[in-house]
Structure 1
Amino acid sequence: MTFVPARPRPKIHSSVHAYQEEILTKEGEGGLSYLYMLVPYTREREDEVQVYMLKDGVWCTHGNLPVDGKLYLSRRPDEGPVLVDNKIYIAVDRSEITVLDLTSLSFSEIQLPQGVDRGGIGERSTSLARADAAGVYLIHVKELQIRLWLHKEGDWLLVDTICLREMLASLSMLGSNASLRIKSVGDNAEVVFLEMGRCALHLDVKCRTLRKVYEVTEEGGYLGDIYPVMMIWPPAFPAPKDGPARGAM
């Protein structure tokens, strides 16, 4: 188990109104690596993005980069930044993705595939996901269809298209006037959580199955964010202190 220490305090500048922060992880030969990124919210372009790496239990400065005036870290899980190898992919506007290269400490932009638009505020029609093939997935939902794109070696490749019409019909949800919105996506885009009306839906991309996993009650009000967690199954829990041994009947 890794204990993450207190995060570094940002270097306060007069032009900065607030900071956004993100802790990202990636798997390597030595286990998980941790990265901490601070993005200043400023009307000027004189400040810097601060990047730290966790080494031997201490946050160490990895580098500072001049801030991009339009760089923004979304707080929604479906729009958060994605760390792949030594690059951070950040969806910043309707037509492009900003890429922060941690090796060269530089920014670049990737245009979205032709015909793909991230939509307006509240539409939640796209999401990014980490790909094992040293790339990033873009998931795009339009009406009752989901398309999966893989960005690798500088190009977008359409790898899958899924029509949800029959699946929604089997759940008696086809007649709903509510639109589909992405709530969250798992690594390698194997799992997609969707929102439709007051319901949360779980799409298994490989098995082509769609299940209703939650429905908001009258008392619930609204459907909150969804954070997928991968774990070993079945889980092994430690025996309670001063309790019976694990597995005892």
Structure 2
Amino acid sequence: MEHAAVALVLGSDDLLVEILRRVNSPTCLVRAAAVSKRWLRHASDPAFLRRFRARHPPRLLGFYVHENPLAELRFLPVSQDPELRSAVRRASYAVDNLGLLDCQNGRLLVRFYDEPSSFAVLSPLQGSPGMAVLTTPFGAGGRMGRLHLPPGMAVRAPSPDLYSVQLFMPNDGGHDGSVIAVEVLAEGMEARAGVHVLSGDVWKVVHDTASIKLPKPVSGIREILRPIDGKVYMVAEKGCKFILELDLATPRFSVIPLPDKVTTTLDNFRLSSGENGSGLVLVHAEGRLLSVWRHETNGAGAGAGWVLVHDKVPVREAFTRHQDVLVIAVSDGAEFVLLGLESRKVLMHVHLKSWTERVYDEMKPIPMYTIRAFPCMMVWPPVFPVLTEGNNQEY
């Protein structure tokens, strides 16, 4: 009787899909998919995966950390979930002579220190890191040189302080081999950007934006941040009360004012996507306090301002150790923030929902103002198994 009841439940496609949707994690889903062809077909269905991701968004494994531009690349584990232990182990390897430019969907975009114009992609979460060397986008002088500049802006050979370029991977990790390059020229009250994509072995121009007017004169872009929900954000020189937003899918280039209490003077803030990968979240530190904002948009997709989500939440370890904190990185989905305890040169993370904290006291002291960090998320969609003869039955 019990066997018949189980067969009746599992024999219903609707009930099976609902059971699969409620398993604890993508790792469990992959195991379930190995039962049979039928289970694999339901588990790997794109429509099902969209619903599954809404219930179980990709988890943070940890942060890749550069102590300084020439230091060894290290991995700081965050997740202690036994289901993710294998993925954390694969991510936890040290690499030297490489500078990390981006980490998306378990893949690393790196630059060779001894050949600054040479780039490659590593895939540590696939079991064997491997390395795919990329065609360089740069010509002579380290420039892409494809921006069409309006009258009044620097032409031909702008000062390095005015010109910035950064390489990224798409949010899916560039599994089709694509890499994105963003170049920006900002001078006086104007800024202009170009977007280029590596397709195959050829770099192609995707967009060359119109010049935009800035709220105040600037002398270049200081930092181009990693893509968030298909958009790239840029921080101008110190003291600005705004950031720039470049939509990678369209030529739209716009200015977003920062919240009143946030400036670029100390750069003590970082941006991330909101829950389920949508929207924009800003985490800001003031002394030993953390504040979190969410950027609202109106129905047309234009910015409608910042909403304060958490106001001046104390970081307990910072108060215990009498240390101010620096915001170093925020995970995708704004679940975790990586902080530096300024004077002690120690890293810690805070879970922004439970406000639990962990300090990495086992690490040697790190100069906080030279550190760079990148969140490493679990791969999505999950990689499903090839069924063996023993479980290759239809049922």
The normalised TM-score by structure 2 is 0.47
- 1:23 CA drift (Å): 1.3
- 1:86 CA drift (Å): 3.9
Cα distance per residue 1:4-29 (max 9 Å; x no partner): 32124322843512242111233359
**Structure 1 Cα separation of the partners of residues 358 and 134 of structure 2:** 36
Cα distance per residue 1:185-207 (max 9 Å; x no partner): 22122221212212222212233
- Report what 1:213 is aligned to: 360
Query: What letter corresponds to residue 128 of structure 1 in structure 2?
Result: L
Higher-RCO chain (CA-CA 8 Å, sequence separation at least 6): 2
Cα 1:70–1:215 change in 2 (3 A) is farther
**Structure 2 Cα separation of the partners of residues 17 and 65 of structure 1:** 20
Cα 1:182–1:215 change in 2 (3 A) is farther
- Report what 2:197 is aligned to: 53
Cα distance per residue 1:174-194 (max 9 Å; x no partner): xx2x42221222212222121
**Structure 2 Cα separation of the partners of residues 145 and 49 of structure 1:** 35
**Any conservation in 1 of the 2:207–2:250 contact (CA below 8 Å)?**
no
**Alignment match of 1:129 (pick from 250, 253, 272):** 272
Of the structure 1 ranges 10-19 and 133-142, higher mean CA displacement relative to structure 2 is found in 10-19
- 1:43 CA drift (Å): 6.5
**Structure 2 Cα separation of the partners of residues 44 and 157 of structure 1:** 28
Work out the percentage of aligned pairs sharing the same amino acid: 20
What secondary structure, in the 3-state scheme, does the structure 2 residue paired with 1:188 have? coil
Aligned pair 1:228/2:364, yes or no? no
| Matched length | 218
Query: What letter corresponds to residue 289 of structure 2 in structure 1?
Result: Q
- After TM superposition, the structure 1 = structure 2 runs for residues 1-249 of structure 1, keeping only pairs within 5 Å, are 3-9=133-139, 10-11=144-145, 13-18=155-160, 19-28=163-172, 31=175, 34-40=179-185, 48-66=192-210, 70=218, 72-75=220-223, 80-92=224-236, 94-113=240-259, 115-120=260-265, 123-131=266-274, 132-153=276-297, 154-155=303-304, 156-161=306-311, 163-169=313-319, 172-173=320-321, 176=322, 178-196=323-341, 197-198=343-344, 199-214=346-361, 222-223=367-368, 224-230=370-376, 232=378
- 1:110 CA drift (Å): 1.4
Query: What letter corresponds to residue 185 of structure 1 in structure 2?
Result: V
- 1:137 CA drift (Å): 1.0
Cα 1:103–1:27 change in 2 (3 A) is closer
What secondary structure, in the 3-state scheme, does the structure 2 residue paired with 1:83 have? coil
**Any conservation in 2 of the 1:167–1:209 contact (CA below 8 Å)?**
no
What secondary structure, in the 3-state scheme, does the structure 1 residue paired with 2:171 have? strand
- 1:36 CA drift (Å): 0.4
**Structure 1 Cα separation of the partners of residues 197 and 189 of structure 2:** 26
Query: What letter corresponds to residue 135 of structure 2 in structure 1?
Result: P
Cα 1:134–1:142 change in 2 (3 A) is same
Cα distance per residue 1:37-75 (max 9 Å; x no partner): 122465796x95332012234321112235556374435
What secondary structure, in the 3-state scheme, does the structure 2 residue paired with 1:206 have? coil
**Any conservation in 1 of the 2:327–2:337 contact (CA below 8 Å)?**
yes
- 1:168 CA drift (Å): 3.8
**Any conservation in 2 of the 1:182–1:194 contact (CA below 8 Å)?**
yes
Cα 1:161–1:25 change in 2 (3 A) is farther
Q: CA RMSD in A?
A: 3.4
**Any conservation in 2 of the 1:17–1:42 contact (CA below 8 Å)?**
no
- 1:210 CA drift (Å): 1.6
**Structure 2 Cα separation of the partners of residues 183 and 29 of structure 1:** 22
The normalised TM-score by structure 1 is 0.70
- Report what 2:96 is aligned to: none
More strand by share: 1
Query: What letter corresponds to residue 138 of structure 1 in structure 2?
Result: L
Cα 1:158–1:221 change in 2 (3 A) is closer
Q: Which residues of structure 1 form unaligned runs of 5+?
A: 234-249
Larger radius of gyration: 2
More helix by share: 2
Q: Which residues of structure 2 form unaligned runs of 5+?
A: 1-122, 124-131, 147-154, 298-302, 380-395
